[in-house]
A and B are shown apart, each in its own frame.
Chain A
Amino acid sequence: DTAVSQTPKYLVTQMGNDKSIKCEQNLGHDTMYWYKQDSKKFLKIMFSYNNKELIINETVPNRFSPKSPDKAHLNLHINSLELGDSAVYFCASSQDADSTDTQYFGPGTRLTVL
């Protein structure tokens, strides 16, 4: 059973397109996250939702918009894709937003913008 799943695993698209990445967790967790990992493996938080409410919104272009239809899902929509958006995007979840909670990561979505 996959705890945190993401679709698609790979996404190749042209500059200027709009695309979405979906994330689902079956752990019953209240908090979900999106991270971006660049080509040098550096990981940085983008967004976090707790009980469908946005609690973290780092300095991310407005072209990125998260949506949480329910506690088990957190999707990421990207408008007007740019070359610099190429990265691996990881979804994660934790029981709640407490600092001691372990975050469980999905397998990642490798986005390539041509």
Chain B
Amino acid sequence: GDSVTQMEGPVTLSEEAFLTINCTYTATGYPSLFWYVQYPGEGLQLLLKATKADDKGSNKGFEATYRKETTSFHLEKGSVQVSDSAVYFCALRGGSNYKLTFGKGTLLTVNP
């Protein structure tokens, strides 16, 4: 079945540091890939998505590129801010599969 593996947290960075959160997936067919963010005490918000190979999703300075050859969708940001502190979830949705399959989430804490 479909699965998503993302790097274990927690990740602690200083403000303006570079961020990478690794995400790899296993799926049949051609899934769509998503990054969701959950701020403390809130629901999930879509951060970015990519629906086909080599697509790059971007939003709020975050980027991720759909790499079919390495089955990866790593999240990056060049300079993190304290306000980026949250839990980040990588997810996929398969071609004939209605549900989102999530990774286990990565807690990011950014210190001033």
Interface residues in chain A, defined as those with a beta carbon under 8 Å from any beta carbon in chain B: 4, 31, 33, 35, 40-45, 48, 50, 55-56, 58, 90, 92, 97, 99-108
From A41, A90, A99, A105, B31 is in contact (CB under 8 Å) with A99
Interface size on B, residues (CB 8 A): 27
The reply to whether A99 and B93 contact each other, CB–CB distance below 8 Å, is yes
B58 within 8 A of A: no
**Chain A residues whose CB sits within 8 angstroms of the CB of B96 once the complex forms:** 99
B93 CB contacts on chain A under 8 angstroms: 99-101
CB pair A50–B45 under 8 Å, yes or no, is no
Complex Cα gap A40–B104 (Å): 8
Q: Which residues of A contact B34 (CB under 8 A)?
A: 102
A105 touches B43 (CB 8 A): yes
Q: 10 nearest interchain CB pairs?
A: A45-B99, A105-B44, A105-B43, A43-B102, A100-B51, A107-B43, A99-B93, A41-B105, A97-B98, A100-B32
What are 25 A-B contacts with C-beta separation under 8 Å? Answer: A4-B43, A31-B98, A33-B100, A35-B100, A41-B105, A42-B102, A42-B104, A42-B105, A43-B89, A43-B105, A45-B99, A45-B100, A55-B98, A56-B98, A90-B43, A99-B32, A99-B93, A99-B95, A99-B98, A100-B49, A100-B93, A103-B100, A105-B36, A107-B43, A108-B42
- Which chain A positions have C-beta within 8 A of B36? 105
Nearest Cβ on chain A to B25's Cβ, whole angstroms: 13
- Chain A residue contacts of B105, Cβ below 8 A: 41-43
Contacting pair B99 A41 (CB below 8 A): no
User: How many angstroms between the C-alpha atoms of A11 and B81 in the bound complex?
Assistant: 34
Given contacts A31-B98, A103-B46, 17 further A-B contacts (CB under 8 A): A33-B100, A40-B104, A42-B104, A43-B44, A43-B89, A45-B101, A55-B98, A56-B99, A92-B44, A100-B32, A100-B49, A102-B34, A102-B46, A105-B36, A105-B43, A105-B44, A107-B42
